[in-house]
Amino acid sequence: MGTNIKKSVMPSASIFIRNFKIEIEEKRILRLIGYKKRGIGVTASIRDVIAEERAKLDRLLNPISVYRIIDYEETNKHSIFAEAEMVAFCLCTIGPRLEQAVKTLMAEGEILRSLILDTLGSEAVEEVATQSDRILAEKALRMHFWPSKSYSPGYKNWMLEEQRFIFGILPAADIGVKLHEESCMMIPRKSISFRINFYSDKNLTTRKIIKNGVP
pLDDT digits 0-9 by tens, 55-104: 999 999 999 999 999 999 999 999 999 999 999 999 999 999 999 999 99
Which CATH number goes with the domain that contains 148?
3.40.109.40
Asked whether residue 13 is assigned to any structural domain, the reply reads yes
Asked whether residue 215 is assigned to any structural domain, the reply reads no
Asked whether residue 79 is assigned to any structural domain, the reply reads yes
State yes or no: pLDDT of 15 exceeds 50. yes
Q: Which of 98, 201, 206 is nearest to 150 (CA)?
A: 206
H or E stretch covering 9: none
Q: Which of 74, 86, 177 is nearest to 128 (CA)?
A: 177
Q: What percent of the chain has pLDDT over 70?
A: 90
With beta carbons less than 8 A apart as the criterion, state whether 26 and 50 touch: yes
Which pLDDT score, from 0 to 100, does residue 42 have? 80
State yes or no: pLDDT of 148 exceeds 80. yes
State yes or no: pLDDT of 7 exceeds 50. no
Asked whether residue 108 is assigned to any structural domain, the reply reads yes
Single-letter amino acid code for the residue at 164: R
Asked whether residue 213 is assigned to any structural domain, the reply reads no
Q: Using alpha carbons only, give the angle 43, 46, 49 rounded to the nearest 5 degrees.
A: 150
Asked whether residue 214 is assigned to any structural domain, the reply reads no
Which pLDDT score, from 0 to 100, does residue 111 have? 94
Q: Is 90 helix (H, G, I), strand (E, B) or coil?
A: strand
Which pLDDT score, from 0 to 100, does residue 173 have? 97
State yes or no: pLDDT of 132 exceeds 90. yes
Asked whether residue 12 is assigned to any structural domain, the reply reads yes
State yes or no: pLDDT of 212 exceeds 60. no
Asked whether residue 15 is assigned to any structural domain, the reply reads yes
Whole-number mean pLDDT of the chain? 90
Band of residue 8 on the pLDDT scale cut at 50, 70, 90: very low
The total of structural domains in the chain comes to 1
pLDDT digits 0-9 by tens, 108-129: 999 999 999 999 999 999 999 9
State which residues form the domain around 151: 7-204
With beta carbons less than 8 A apart as the criterion, state whether 118 and 126 touch: no
State yes or no: pLDDT of 166 exceeds 80. yes
